[in-house]
Every structure is written in structure tokens, then in C-alpha cells.
């Protein structure tokens, strides 16, 4: 009975370590590539899982903000922009749009001139 419990705990630890490894971002993994860690955990289930949990992953606290819930890439400054910043961004997008439209019109006019000047066969 004791051996069964030890075996189940080892398998549970193995599964936990593999899931933790696979779901970890590559920037959090220390010392070895992800594939090597998978092989270590699979070939040495008990020792490999313990080593992974203790030394394989950077478990430093997440920077200030919302904590460690969700995608770490979403953890950025979430302070709302002021109205003037939003207006400036909207104006920049509008200026860029009109510049592109003007360039398209110039290129179309240039193409039309080339078509008119081309000798017909």
C-alpha cells in the first residue's frame, strides 16, 4: 500500500512538473532548453521533477500590477490615456491615412500618363 501511494505521488509530481514546464514562457526557463528539461523529467521522474521545481524556472515575483494571473504579456501599464493623448493619436492616424490616399492618387495619375504616352501596336 505504501508503494502504491509513493508511486501515485511520483506520477502526480511528474505530471505537475511537465504541465508547469510546458506552460512556462521560454524567458522563465533557466539553465537548459525546454526540450532538455522535458527529457530530464521523463527519464528521471522523481529527481527531474524536483530539480525542475527548485532550479529550472525563474519564479521571481511578477512586476507590480495585476499579479501573476493570466498572460504575462498583458501586464503592462494600464493607466488610461488622457483625452489629449487619444486625440493626438487619432490625428496622427488620420494624417497618415490622408498621406497614403494622396500618394495613391499621385501614383494612379502617373500610371495613367504612362498609359496615354505608350505607343499602341
Model pLDDT, residue 101: 95
Q: What's the grid cell of residue 80?
A: 488610461
At 24 the pLDDT is 86
- Please tell me the predicted confidence (pLDDT) of residue 120: 67
Q: What is the pLDDT of residue 110?
A: 93
The SS3 assignment for 57 reads: strand
- Phi, psi dihedrals of residue 26, rounded to the nearest 5°: -60, -30
Gap between the Cα atoms of 18 and 91, Å rounded = 49
Half-sphere exposure of 107 (CA within 13 A, CB side): 6
Question: What is the pLDDT at residue 71?
Answer: 57
Whether 52 and 41 have beta carbons less than 8 Å apart is answered as: yes
Strand (E) or helix (H) holding 64 = none
pTM of the model: 0.48
**61 DSSP assignment:** P
Cα distance between residue 10 and residue 4, in whole Å? 10
Spell out, as residue ranges, where the chain has pLDDT lower than 50.
64-65
Amino acid at each position: 500500500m505504501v508503494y502504491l501511494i509513493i508511486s501515485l505521488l511520483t506520477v502526480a509530481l511528474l505530471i505537475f512538473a511537465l504541465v508547469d514546464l510546458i506552460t512556462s514562457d521560454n524567458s522563465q526557463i533557466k539553465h537548459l532548453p525546454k526540450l532538455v528539461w522535458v527529457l530530464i523529467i521523463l527519464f528521471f521522474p522523481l529527481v527531474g521533477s524536483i530539480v525542475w521545481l527548485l532550479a529550472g524556472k525563474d519564479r521571481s515575483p511578477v512586476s507590480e500590477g495585476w499579479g501573476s494571473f493570466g498572460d504575462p504579456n498583458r501586464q503592462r501599464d494600464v493607466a488610461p490615456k488622457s483625452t489629449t493623448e487619444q486625440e493626438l493619436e487619432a490625428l496622427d492616424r488620420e494624417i497618415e491615412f490622408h498621406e497614403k490616399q494622396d500618394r495613391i492618387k499621385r501614383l494612379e495619375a502617373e500610371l495613367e500618363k504612362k498609359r496615354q504616352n505608350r505607343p499602341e501596336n
